[in-house]
Chain A
Amino acid sequence: MNLTLKIWRQKNADASGKMQTYNVTDISPEMSFLEMLDVLNEDLLKKGEDPIAFDHDCREGICGMCSLFINGKPHGPSQTTTCQLHMRSFKDGDTVYIEPWRAKAFPVVKDLTVDRSSFDRIIQAGGYISVNTGNAPDANEMPIPKDVVDEAMSSATCIGCGACVAACKNASAMLFVSAKVSQLAMLPQGKPEKQKRVEAMVAQMDEEGFGACTNTGACSAECPKDISLTNIARMNREYFGAKASSENV
């Protein structure tokens, strides 16, 4: 199949960028979206042009490194990661818009790659538990109800790709932060520090320049891991509770 691509090109963080048009031919519907971009890049290299920079790592939907705002949606038309998106989702002759995540807290590094270290700083602010790792404890030492574990694990499936921020009209990071807050707040290992954690992570989130949540639900609808809005409600509860009762003045 043949496609027209409109791709954001930007030399570096300080340069101003623009959409540029490329044509790709003989694309197999079995290719992944990133393979299609690889084909285009080989073409560009042969012509002596600068290849298009885009992020990727595992290419199997688990690392959260790939991004791309494709045809108006993060990770493209289906609710998956861009590396798991296949060209069969497009038709011969389609025009495809490819843009980087847009957020003040995710500055463009080059072309389609953005700097997502704001997420790392939010995790550093409190997305961990402060215990020394020793031997694995006995499995039945700490009884945790199955439904609680399931819920915590479903929050923990967040791969931190940033699609929630990209989808949100406010570039809000609340789905990401709430998933990280939830996965720890629900389990006994995370409970001792839960107040301090939610206060620190929300403060860091605000400092990074993400917007606030309007509860549009766009984040969850576009999330490749289907992280649900109940996480945001849980984070709000945890936050208001912590602010009202924690010892941190």
Chain B
Amino acid sequence: MSWFTESLSSSLGRKLIMSLTGIFLITFLVVHVAGNLQLLKLDGGESFNIYTKFMTTNPIIKTVSYLLYAGILAHVIYSIILTRVNRSARPVKYAYEKASTNSTWASRNMGLLGAVVLFFLVVHMRSFWFEMKFGDGVPMVEYDGEDYKNLYALVVTAFSQWWYVLIYLVSLAFLGFHLSHGFASAFQTLGLNHKKYTPFIEKLGLAFAIIVPILFATQPIAIFFWTQTGALDPSVYEEMIKTAQLAGQ
């Protein structure tokens, strides 16, 4: 092994990878939640569809998105390696433990919290990313003479189902707990601990862990609510998808 790979496979090297990929995922959350606020416009999906076309075709964004998939993969792989090593470091468990008096629940359950977030990511990617890229059921729309994939139709159809919204809300809560520890922890791992900044980073992390999941949650909640009140008619969008599927076959 070269000095480089050797360093990265030490305990601290692995933590460095967790921290850097974690911070990268945090920046992605900011961009993702900001973009998705387009869903809160009741404009038949026009601004959302224009936004998604930009995000899926712009070469810079596409490059970053591949980096992002690599980042998620690295974060998950290293979380498995670390969790396994950490478990094996204590082969015999205590009969009686009072860990709640010395640490937070989230900090002790990052693996569990991460696993739920991963499950959610798979569901989420299957519903939207996979359909968008490989599915044959994506209807097309035209704005100002230009063709757009109508991802909005998929979103409304998905979020008109209460159980689907519920999966989102539960997963977002888990993400919040993951971040409530992870955000500040990532800075500590990098060695960035300072009297002047650490208290601020900890507060910022807590605020981030609460606000970002809530912002994400507004989208499924709002759309579900609108489909219930009649402000949005999901059957229109389901019809579009059916037509597209028939045409695709």
Q: Verify if A71 is at the interface (C-beta below 8 Å from B).
A: yes
Q: Verify if B97 is at the interface (C-beta below 8 Å from A).
A: yes
By DSSP majority rule, is chain A's interface helix, strand, loop, or mixed? mixed
B93: chain A residues at CB < 8 Å are 102
Q: What is the bound-complex CA distance between A103 and B88, given in angstroms?
A: 9
Chain B nearest CB from A98 CB (Å) reads 10
For residues 22 through 68 of chain B, which have their beta carbon under 8 Å from a beta carbon of chain A? none
- A71 & B108 in contact (Cβ 8 Å cutoff): no
Q: What is the bound-complex CA distance between A222 and B97, given in angstroms?
A: 13
Q: Mark B66-100, 1 if CB is under 8 A from A, else 0.
A: 00000000000000001001111111111111110
Chain B nearest CB from A233 CB (Å) reads 3
Most B CB contacts (10 A, CB to CB) among A19, A232, A239 go to A239
Given contacts A202-B11, A216-B107, A239-B12, contact A103 B191 (CB under 8 A): no
What is the interface size of chain B, counting residues whose CB is below 8 A from a CB of the partner? 41
B192: chain A residues at CB < 8 Å are 233
Q: What is the bound-complex CA distance between A8 and B94, given in angstroms?
A: 10
- B90 & A170 in contact (Cβ 8 Å cutoff): yes
- B10 & A202 in contact (Cβ 8 Å cutoff): yes
B11: chain A residues at CB < 8 Å are 172, 174, 202, 205-206, 210-213
Chain B nearest CB from A134 CB (Å) reads 35
- B185 & A214 in contact (Cβ 8 Å cutoff): yes
Q: Verify if B102 is at the interface (C-beta below 8 Å from A).
A: yes
Chain B nearest CB from A95 CB (Å) reads 9
B85: chain A residues at CB < 8 Å are 211-212
A215: chain B residues at CB < 8 Å are 107, 181, 184-185, 188-189
B189: chain A residues at CB < 8 Å are 213, 215, 236
- A202 & B12 in contact (Cβ 8 Å cutoff): yes
Q: What is the bound-complex CA distance between A2 and B85, given in angstroms?
A: 42
- A237 & B102 in contact (Cβ 8 Å cutoff): no
- A217 & B103 in contact (Cβ 8 Å cutoff): yes
Chain A nearest CB from B115 CB (Å) reads 15
B191: chain A residues at CB < 8 Å are 233-238, 240
Q: Verify if B3 is at the interface (C-beta below 8 Å from A).
A: yes
Q: What is the bound-complex CA distance between A8 and B93, given in angstroms?
A: 12
Q: Verify if B101 is at the interface (C-beta below 8 Å from A).
A: yes
In-complex Cβ contact of B90 among A72, A102, A233 (8 A): A102
In-complex Cβ contact of B89 among A209, A216, A233, A243 (8 A): A209
For residues 182 through 227 of chain B, which have their beta carbon under 8 Å from a beta carbon of chain A? 184-185, 188-193
Q: What is the bound-complex CA distance between A200 and B102, given in angstroms?
A: 30
In-complex Cβ contact of B101 among A6, A73, A209 (8 A): A73
- A71 & B82 in contact (Cβ 8 Å cutoff): no
- A212 & B96 in contact (Cβ 8 Å cutoff): no
- A72 & B98 in contact (Cβ 8 Å cutoff): yes
Given contacts A216-B104, A236-B189, A243-B3, contact A172 B98 (CB under 8 A): no
Q: What is the bound-complex CA distance between A248 and B3, given in angstroms?
A: 8
B7: chain A residues at CB < 8 Å are 243
Chain A nearest CB from B11 CB (Å) reads 4
- A212 & B82 in contact (Cβ 8 Å cutoff): yes
- A169 & B99 in contact (Cβ 8 Å cutoff): yes
B10: chain A residues at CB < 8 Å are 202-203, 206
Q: What is the bound-complex CA distance between A73 and B94, given in angstroms?
A: 10
Most B CB contacts (10 A, CB to CB) among A102, A167, A210, A222 go to A102
User: Ordered nearest first, which 4 A-B pairs have the shortest CB separation?
Assistant: A72-B98, A237-B191, A233-B193, A211-B89
Residues of A at the B interface (CB closer than 8 Å) are 6, 8, 19, 69, 71-73, 97, 99, 102-105, 167, 169-172, 174, 202-203, 205-206, 209-218, 221-222, 229-230, 232-240, 243, 248-249
13 further A-B contacts with Cβ under 8 Å, apart from A211-B87, A221-B102, A237-B191, are A6-B96, A104-B91, A167-B102, A209-B88, A212-B14, A212-B85, A213-B11, A214-B108, A215-B188, A216-B181, A218-B102, A229-B188, A240-B190
Q: List 13 A-B contacts (CB under 8 A).
A: A73-B98, A97-B96, A102-B92, A103-B89, A104-B89, A211-B89, A215-B181, A216-B108, A218-B102, A218-B103, A229-B193, A230-B193, A236-B188
